Structure formats: C-alpha cells, structure tokens
C-alpha cells in the first residue's frame, strides 16, 4: 500500500478513537529509497577475459557471441535482428486478429490486412493454382516481337514491380528539392552485385555456376522447352549488363549520378531505344529524367538493338518467375529460396511462412500495418524522451561545429544553417498513406501482389513533377532502422527501433546516449559525410564549402578510408574503405557528438558508478552492445560488395579507437590493441 495512504488512514483512525483514548502521535512518513539505477547493460553477454582496451566489441559481447547460434532461417543475427523479430511478432498478432475478425467491411483496413494475410497463408490454394496466376503476364512476354516491344515491356515491368533492366522511380530533384523528378537507375541483375558476374575469384565462379543451374531449373519447371539454352543466353545477357554497371563506389557520388535530361537529350544519349514505347508501357507521359548512370543507359539501348528479341523474352520470363516465385507453389518458391538464401547467403532453412507473409505486407501495405502497430505498441512518453535526446544531440553538434579548428568561418556558418534546418521525425507519420484504391482479395495472392505493385507505381507516376511531400516517410513504423534523407534534410527514427538495447526508458542515460544517442548522431552526421555534405540545408545539391575547407575534409576522410581498409574478414579480405566511408563517418561523428550530448545532459554533475562502470564507460559499452552480431560466411562475403556499412565488429571498435574520451574512460595506453597515437586519431565533426 502507498505510504501516504497508510499515513492518511492512521490520521483518520486517530480522530475516531480520540474521545476515549490518549492522543495518538501523528505518523511521520518514512522516506522511501528510490530504486537502484539500472545500467541498461547486458552483463551476461560480457567476456571478462577480454580487456576493453584491447577489444571493446568482445569485452561487451564475447560471451553473447560464444553462446548464440545464428537461427537456421537467418543469414546473420544480432541485437537489431532480435528487435526486428520482436516487432514482427507483435505485428503478426495484430494481423492475425484482423484476419479472424468477423464481418470485416469491404475496403476497410481490417479487410485488406486480414485478406492479404489469409491469401498468403492459404497454401492449399497456392499449390492448386500453381503458375496459372501469371498466365496473362507470360502471354504479354510471348507477344514481344520487336525492339520496340522490348522497350515497351521494360516500361511495363516497372508497373508490376520487376523493373528490368533499369528501374524508374520518382524522387526529389537534387537541385530543385521542392519538386519530384522521374529517375532511372541501373538494375537488371539477379545476383547481388556486378562482382558476382565479373570477379575472377573462385568463390564468385562457384556462384555463377549455381546461378546458371538455377535459371535452367526455374525455366524448366515453368515449361520452357529448351531451358538449358535459355539459361545460357540469360546468363550471358546479365553478364553484359553487369559489365556496363557502375561500381558501388561510383554510385555514391551525388554529383556524377545527377544527370537531368529532357526527352531529346536522352534520345540522343541512347539512340535506337524507343522511349515513347517505354513511357507507353509505363503508363506515363514522356518526362524529364534524372539518369543516374548515363553510360549504362546507353549500353542498355545498344543491347536492345543487338540482342535477339528471343533472348529478351526468356530474360523477362525468368525475372518475372524469380520475383514472384515466393508467392507461387512450393516447386518454385523452394527453388528460389535454395538459390537466393541457401546458396548466396548460406541460410539452411526457409523462414516460417507467417514471417514471409508479414514481410510481404510490410513491403506492400506497410503504413496500413504500421498504423495498427503504433496504436498498440508506441507511447507518447517514448516520443517525448526521444525528442529530448535529439535536442541534446543537435545542441552538441552545433557546439562541435563552433569548435572545429580546421573549418573556416564561412563554411562553418553554412554548416550551422544546414544543421538548424534538419527536420526530425520520430515514431510514425503525422499523416498515414491512403490505401483506399488498393484492392485486396482473399483468394488471389499473386493478384494482390500485382495490384499492390501497380498501386505503388501509380502513386509515383502521379506525383512526378509535383511538390515534394515533406511529411512522407521512407520507412514503416515497425522497421528497426533509421535514416537521413539529404534531399529533404531530415532524420527519421521509426517506433520499432526505440527499444532496448538501443533505447531503454527505465535505464540510466549513459547507455541510452551510447546506443540510440549514437544512432541519432549517426543520422545527423550523414548530412555532413562525404556525400551528404554536398547538399545544403534545403536539400539541394550545392557546393557550400570553401576550396580550402573541402580539401581539409577530404584529407580527414581519406585517413578514415585508410583505417578501415586495413581491417580484414574471412580469408583476409579487406573492407572497402571508400565504399563504407559515409557510414564510417556517421559512426565516428555520431558517437563523438552523442558523448558530448551525454556530458551536457549531466548538467555538470558526476554520473554514478553502476554495475562497476562509470558513466563514461557505460556510454561506450552501450555503443558496443548494440553491435553484437554474427554472420554466415556467404552473407559476410556479400556484404563486402553490397553493404555500405562495415561489419559490426569494426563498427564497434573502429570509430571508438579515434575518440579521446574512450582513452580517458578505460585508461587506454600504448601497447593496448585499441590504442592509436593521438596524431593518427581521425576527428571530423
């Protein structure tokens, strides 16, 4: 019972018996000791045989790494994956409840969510209809006879979510960020990256052989008469496409990938490609386009002119099958899993079908599901606490800009102006997407996917040339992730990431600042990394740096490139320091700013020692804790060429070894494995 209630009852009883008994002394409330502070650290995952001065990552997670097995349906597993599983479990409960709701009104959210889920889970029907739901799509491909038809189908493929061999989308114009512009980006490959087709490495040669067999088997099961010949031609075509593609490093350059062109200009760039047929197939009027990789589009136009139309037909047929196989009968779905997950990612088992259903719903009606998730699992208190954290991070970044000794006053003023214009989005959108035009049927899984693709495509078509919706979210609330958008100069933190180990409402601030605080700082820092720094506060691609300051930034960035290029994984394969530079800057600067914000939050007071660690130590342990992760070898190999983030071990240790406060917190000295001489420590923001 509450102590104040007890005191009040005692006083009342005293008044009742006062006439016939001696006065009862007034009860004095006894102070209640506050509960002990919670650190937010998972001490059971620590490895005390490792010194944090030598390996912070394994000190904070070595026991977890030793005792945790990657689930058989995963290519990797870690703290954020555990968070994602939790969110997916909660979403599944909501979806299941909607599917069991009686008399769902036609067109209602519950009807769409419930019927999509039921259609996905109805394996008896999926098996009985086989490949027939794609019959109309195959007929359209079979009707292709001329290069004009090929161009038309490339446009049409955008509407059904296949988008081969290049992808059209609409996004804010990089030099006029208030309006949407149509854009083309290289595409067309089945395997994760061009290296899988072009590298002489024996591991990639093995993947190429498996790919050829997969293409043959998938086409054979679909009834292709000479599947082996078709597979040979498809592999050859994809190899030629891969040869024309830009590398991931080239694609990180926002200036080189910004190439707005009018219809006459890209007709001149890619002569012989029927652009009018392309737009007709896409269901859109001819438009100005931002062509990210002009030489690639020129190469595709040449392929359309020179590759036999019969090769394009089997190529389109294969990609349609490959993309829709998860929704087809087991003979197709299992084959697709065997290649994409078992061969390329090393995953031994298929994910449970309900998880695949939730994934598909997230991709096709994510905000509709997200609205349900937020109503049940995200409170106002968490949003308020996050706003406080973000506010402190922005203050710390502002202070840091003022203290930069390598940046001149004019550039510094521009940087502060950009920082002041950052928009913060937390939890969920203020306005939910309208799905009323999307038709979902209980007995038509493939049809649901086709209609959802058309629905998404039409939304992008309709907005092209119009004003940018600054309230749009690029992630769903149930996504465990965060992002910075340079075109809108905004940072976004979906509801599902705002949980332990990234964020704990009940914990002492140190681990929260080390976890979600560093994530916040990471996203802010993306506005000032090697790519983001080229955009101004309004989201426009504009060089606001003096030549001298730009050179100084590049010098510091190159030191970070060199540091991360010195790390290796697997059989001594080095990280690509150029490819991962933006994310490494985000990690380094984000953590440095988060530490400053943590110190600001203390208001000059000394943080208590909890679980044997000082506040400063808990901050860095909170950072390392969130990066616990294990990878299968195939997955790690893939990430080296496709993931701009460094592997988790180096995200935990690499940036930390550059921060002076880490040395002070753990008394790191020469001879310790994480020690870097002061002159070698990279400091950017």
Per-residue pLDDT reduced to its tens digit, 505-557: 889 999 999 999 999 999 999 999 999 999 999 999 999 999 999 999 999 99
Residues 12 and 62 in one domain: no
In CATH, what number is assigned to the domain containing residue 668? 3.40.390.10
Residues 599 and 649 in one domain: yes
Domain that holds residue 206: 136-327
Give the separation between CA 490 and CA 496, rounded to whole angstroms: 18
Residues 271 and 296 in one domain: yes
Residues 64 and 142 in one domain: no
Please say if the pLDDT value at position 500 is more than 70. yes
Per-residue pLDDT reduced to its tens digit, 646-680: 999 999 999 999 999 999 999 999 999 999 999 99
Residues 303 and 388 in one domain: no
Residues 204 and 172 in one domain: yes
Q: Is residue 354 part of a domain?
A: no
Residues 51 and 188 in one domain: no
Question: Among 295, 327, 359, which residue terminates a domain?
Answer: 327
Please say if the pLDDT value at position 19 is more than 50. no
pLDDT of residue 16: 29
CB 435 within 8 A of CB 458: no
Q: What's the structural domain count of the chain?
A: 3
Closest Cα to residue 142, out of 224, 259, 23? 224
CA 457 to centroid of chain Cα atoms = 21
Closest Cα to residue 611, out of 1, 180, 91, 43? 43
Q: Which two tokens stand for residue 161?
A: 């979510």
Cis peptide before 210 (omega within 30 of 0): no
Residues 50 and 163 in one domain: no
pLDDT of residue 221: 98
Q: Is residue 245 part of a domain?
A: yes
pLDDT of residue 8: 34
Please say if the pLDDT value at position 12 is more than 80. no
Per-residue pLDDT reduced to its tens digit, 210-238: 999 999 999 999 999 999 999 999 999 99
CB 655 within 8 A of CB 584: yes
Q: Is residue 439 part of a domain?
A: no
Would the pTM of this model clear 0.75, i.e. be above it? yes
Q: Is residue 338 part of a domain?
A: no
Per-residue pLDDT reduced to its tens digit, 349-403: 999 999 999 999 999 999 999 999 999 999 888 889 899 999 999 999 999 999 9
Closest Cα to residue 59, out of 490, 599, 656? 656
Residues 617 and 660 in one domain: yes
Q: Is residue 335 part of a domain?
A: no
Give the separation between CA 625 and CA 65, rounded to whole angstroms: 11
Residues 516 and 560 in one domain: yes
| Residue appearing with tokens 């700082």 | 521
Question: Among 292, 309, 327, which residue terminates a domain?
Answer: 327
In whole numbers, what is the pLDDT of the chain averaged over residues?
Answer: 94
Q: Is residue 20 part of a domain?
A: yes
In CATH, what number is assigned to the domain containing residue 157? 1.10.1380.10
Residue 13 burial by Cβ neighbours in a 10 Å radius (0-12, 13-18, 19+): exposed
Residues 254 and 398 in one domain: no
Residues 28 and 141 in one domain: no
Q: Is residue 200 part of a domain?
A: yes
């Amino acid at each position: 019972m509450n102590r104040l209630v007890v005191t009040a009852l005692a006083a009342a009883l005293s008044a009742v018996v006062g006439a016939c008994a001696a006065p009862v002394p007034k009860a004095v409330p006894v102070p209640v000791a506050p509960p002990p502070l919670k650190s937010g650290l998972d001490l059971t995952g620590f490895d005390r045989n490792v010194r944090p001065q030598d390996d912070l990552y394994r000190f904070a997670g070595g026991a977890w790494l030793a005792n945790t097995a990657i689930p058989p349906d995963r290519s990797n597993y870690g703290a954020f994956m555990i968070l994602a599983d939790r969110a997916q479990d909660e979403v599944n409960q909501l979806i299941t409840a909607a599917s069991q709701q009686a008399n769902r009104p036609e067109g209602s959210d519950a009807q769409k969510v419930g019927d999509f889920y039921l259609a996905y889970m109805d394996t008896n029907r999926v098996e009985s209809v086989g490949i027939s739901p794609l019959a109309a799509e195959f007929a359209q491909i079979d009707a292709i006879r001329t290069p004009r038809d090929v161009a038309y189908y490339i446009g049409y493929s955008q509407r059904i979510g296949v988008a081969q061999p290049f992808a059209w989308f609409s996004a804010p114009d990089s030099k006029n960020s208030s309006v949407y512009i149509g854009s083309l980006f290289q595409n067309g490959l089945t395997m994760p990256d061009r290296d899988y087709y072009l590298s002489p490495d024996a591991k990639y040669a093995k993947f190429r052989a498996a790919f050829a067999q997969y293409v043959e088997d998938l086409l054979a099961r679909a009834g292709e008469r000479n599947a082996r010949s078709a597979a040979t031609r498809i592999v050859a075509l994809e190899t030629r496409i891969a040869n024309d593609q830009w590398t991931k490093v080239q694609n990180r350059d926002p200036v080189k990938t910004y190439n707005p062109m009018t219809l006459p200009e890209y007709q001149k760039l890619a002569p012989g490609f029927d652009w009018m047929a392309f737009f007709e197939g896409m269901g859109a009027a001819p438009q100005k386009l931002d062509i990210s990789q002009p030489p690639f589009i020129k190469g595709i136009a040449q392929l359309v002119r020179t590759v036999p139309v019969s090769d394009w037909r089997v190529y389109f047929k294969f990609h349609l099958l490959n993309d829709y196989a998860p929704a087809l009968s087991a003979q197709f779905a299992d084959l697709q899993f065997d290649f994409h997950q078992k061969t390329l990612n090393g995953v031994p088992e298929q994910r449970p079908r309900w998880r695949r259903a939730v994934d598909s719903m997230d991709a096709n009606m994510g905000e509709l599901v997200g609205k349900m998730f937020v109503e049940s699992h995200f409170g106002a208190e968490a949003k308020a606490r996050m706003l406080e954290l973000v506010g402190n991070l922005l203050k710390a970044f502002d202070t840091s800009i003022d203290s930069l000794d390598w940046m001149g006053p004019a550039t510094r003023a521009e940087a502060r102006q950009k920082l002041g214009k950052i928009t913060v989005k937390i939890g969920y959108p203020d306005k939910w997407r309208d799905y009323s035009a999307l038709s979902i049927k209980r007995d038509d899984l493939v049809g649901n996917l086709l209609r959802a693709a058309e629905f998404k495509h039409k939304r992008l078509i309709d907005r092209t040339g119009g004003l940018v919706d600054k309230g749009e979210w690029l992630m769903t609330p149930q996504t465990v992730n965060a992002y910075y958008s340079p075109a809108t100069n905004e940072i976004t933190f979906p509801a599902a990431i705002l949980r332990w180990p990234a964020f704990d409402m009940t914990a002492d601030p140190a681990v929260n600042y080390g976890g979600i605080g560093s994530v916040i700082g990471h996203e802010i820092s993306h506005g000032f990394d090697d790519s983001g720094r080229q955009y101004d506060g309004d989201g426009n691609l504009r060089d606001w740096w003096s030549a001298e300051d730009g050179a100084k930034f590049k010098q510091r960035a190159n030191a970070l490139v060199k540091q991360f290029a010195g790390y290796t994984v697997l059989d001594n394969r080095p990280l690509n320091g150029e490819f991962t530079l933006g994310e490494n800057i985000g990690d380094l600067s984000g953590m440095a700013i988060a530490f400053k914000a943590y110190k600001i939050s203390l208001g000059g007071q000394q943080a208590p020692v909890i679980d044997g660690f000082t506040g400063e130590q808990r901050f860095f342990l909170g950072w390392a804790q969130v990066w616990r992760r294990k990878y299968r070898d195939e997955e790690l190999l893939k990430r080296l060429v496709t993931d701009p983030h460094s592997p988790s071990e180096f995200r935990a240790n690499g940036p930390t070894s550059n921060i002076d406060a880490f040395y002070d917190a753990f008394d790191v000295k020469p001879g310790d494995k994480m020690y870097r001489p002061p002159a070698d420590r990279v400091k950017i923001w």
